A and B are shown apart, each in its own frame.
Chain A
Amino acid sequence: MAILQTKNLSKVYNPDTVPVHALRDVSITIDKGEFTSIVGPSGSGKTTLLNMLGGLDKPTSGSVWVNGEEITSMKESKLIDFRLHNIGFVFQHYNLIPVFTAHENVSFIMLLQNRSKKEIRERADDLLEQVGLGDRKNARPVQMSGGQQQRVAVARALASEPKFILADEPTANLDSTSAMNLLDIMNKMNREQNVTFVFSTHDQRVIDRARRVITMVDGAIHKDEYRDVEETAEN
């Protein structure tokens, strides 16, 4: 089932002055349970595409559909709520609220969803266990390594039970061990819980772990390939 779909998506920055065609006629379909990586040279439009998929930015033309709903024409207030319940985000760095502990960071998004206190607490505990941070629940972001922070970010993204998780270069600021560790966690959640991930990356070893690799060049889809990968290579 198509969980995420773009139809002839185009984005032109500065149309009036120096037009930059960041996306050209991008049409992709992502199904539930996919583990997709978007790759391509710097400036090829990866971030722009992810922003469109997440409803953070509006396209110049074309549309984005999430679970059969068009989000490109949604009003911003509705879109914020839509994101809260449907889309998980992991950014490149400084993802977390600095004054909150790991546990509070994960809980906060569920609080925004108005879940019950008990459910929030238990689910946050559980998710932190799953990303291997059961013993770092009360640590603040500054007390954690970059890899640990990104794992908390993944736990937070999952907490809201989104349809899919978007991650823009989640490993860019991590050393290779932490990067692989994060990938393992994402991979495990994908396999065990059928969580859909769409992430962009430059890192070849991360690319190697993706089952679908969409290559972008100059704002357009250059290649879109499905591959077999040996699961959890390092573990």
Chain B
Amino acid sequence: MYLKLAWRNIWRNKRRTLITLSSILFAVVCALFIESIERGSHDLTVENMTRFHTGYLQVQDFRFEDEPSLDNSFYYDPEFFGSIEENVEGIEFTVPRIDGFMLAAGEELTRPAMVLGILPGREQRLNGLVDRLVEGRFFNEGESTAVVSQGLASRLNVAVGDTLVLLGQGRFGMSAAGKYYISGIVKLPLREMDNQTIYLSISEAQWLLSAEGYITSLLITPESAAQVNILAEALSQIFEGTEYRVLTWREMMPELIEALEFDKAGTRMFMAILYVVIGFGIFGTILTMTLERLREFGILLSVGMKRMKLAAVVFIETLLISILGVLSGFGLGLFLIIYFNINPITIGGDGAEYMLDMGFDPILPTAIAPDIFFYQGSVVFLITLVISLYPSFKILRLNIIEAAKK
């Protein structure tokens, strides 16, 4: 009967309950959606950065981090690294790369470029590079053609079929110069990379840079992203006493982590404001409800209902509304998140430019992560719970005579 009392009280003023309910629902949906978009876009950025740029884990010469030059490249011993790939638990595959800065010249324009020597098959497996061709075709390993990123191609004003001259310095100051037929144009998701990357096959690049057999980095793809740290630990142990060193993507991109943290802090600020606003909204309806019912509370206490009991019944009322609100928020939130995960929001115009400048893709996919539901659900629920304490608190201190006069 107490539950009946609580339940009927909830529906006694439908409008008020619906207002409270929809405030909670709105809060939950907003919070879920915002956080899942943030998480989604961050994940995407990290994924792009790791897949195209650093990899989740990278093996380097121990001097390379301080002085990223070809002089600090290392010999890619197929036997040694092959056995590591075979024997270390959690490695899915490895991707060797050699990179160096050179000058790239087209017919009339010259630009600095990052020349990346790669194994197309491995890159394809890592980041689907071959599928990102917008024109022409990729080279096979050993072939002497170049694939140019779209941004750089347009800066150099070159196209498939044109010839590209690369000029620079190889290993140990050897001069490096080569002429390459452009076989393909590729669109890279990271603007900075798209504006300066030229792909050559790894053996071709090694030859060009006088670094036969050498690479600057070996990217290691773990079987799951969650294993990065464990794997890094294991590899560090293996590399102990050698000149190899393993770095995680977090160690390689501290600026990115910082930017993401900064972005997160902004979102958190916004959420805090959202919570406060909605919290006050809910408090307002609960407050009116309490004041309207003071007389009824007074009568119940007069006839002999214990304060704690009455406080509990009224608390259960708001509790039920909260649960209902949070659950329906989960429902709607999940629907929206799944929908926008399949059909990500694409930002156009100035917003897109801004995003690109910041190094992010102008699309906002949502992340479907249970911990977001758990976290945001708990926060909203906790807020309403605290608010729900108000009527109970009021009941515990209510002056019966005053209340019955109302």
Contact = CB atoms under 8 A, between A and B. Distances in A.
Contacts of A95: 299
Interface stretch (A76-84, A184-192, A197-205, A221-229): A76-84
A91 B306 CA distance: 19
Nearest to A109: B303
A40 interface: no
B39 to A, nearest CB: 43
A80 B295 contact: no
Interface string B297-317: 001111111110100000000
B122 interface: no
A80 B296 contact: no
B304 A97 contact: no
B223 to A, nearest CB: 59
Interface stretch (B5-13, B130-138, B352-360, B364-372): B5-13
A178 interface: no
B304 A107 contact: no
A108 B1 contact: yes
A77 to B, nearest CB: 7
A104 B9 CA distance: 14
B404 interface: yes
Interface residues of B, number: 21
B297 to A, nearest CB: 10
Nearest to B293: A98
Contacts of B12: 98-99
Q: Most A CB atoms within 10 A — which of B12, B299, B304, B307?
A: B304
20 contacts: A51-B401, A54-B302, A56-B302, A56-B404, A57-B400, A77-B306, A80-B304, A81-B306, A83-B303, A83-B304, A84-B304, A89-B302, A91-B404, A95-B299, A98-B296, A104-B1, A104-B4, A107-B1, A111-B1, A112-B305
Nearest to A86: B304
B401 A85 contact: no
Interface string A98-132: 11100010011101110000000000000000000
A159 to B, nearest CB: 10
Interface string B1-23: 10011001100100000000000
A160 interface: yes
Contacts of A104: 1, 4
Q: Most A CB atoms within 10 A — which of B12, B305, B306?
A: B305
A212 interface: no
Nearest to B399: A57
Given A84-B303, A97-B300, 13 more contacts: A54-B302, A56-B302, A77-B306, A80-B305, A81-B306, A84-B305, A89-B302, A91-B299, A99-B9, A100-B8, A107-B1, A112-B305, A112-B309
B5 A99 contact: yes
B295 A89 contact: no
B184 to A, nearest CB: 74
Contacts of A99: 5, 8-9, 12
Nearest to A156: B303
Nearest to A168: B404
Contacts of B306: 77, 80-81
A56 B302 CA distance: 7
A95 B298 CA distance: 10
Q: Most B CB atoms within 10 A — which of A85, A99, A104, A156?
A: A99
A80 B301 contact: yes
Interface in A144-170: 156-157, 160
B210 to A, nearest CB: 88
A56 B299 CA distance: 11
B304 A100 contact: no
Contacts of A157: 303
B5 A100 contact: yes
Contacts of A111: 1
A92 B77 CA distance: 97
Contacts of B400: 56-57
Contacts of B404: 56, 91
Contacts of B301: 80
A51 B295 CA distance: 15
Contacts of A97: 5, 296, 299-300
Nearest to B301: A80
Nearest to A96: B299
A160 B305 CA distance: 12
A97 B401 CA distance: 17
Interface string A51-68: 100101100000000000
A85 B5 contact: no
Contacts of B9: 99
Contacts of B8: 99-100
A56 B400 CA distance: 7
Contacts of A100: 5, 8
A94 B1 contact: no
B314 to A, nearest CB: 12
Contacts of B4: 104
A89 B307 CA distance: 17
Nearest to B307: A80
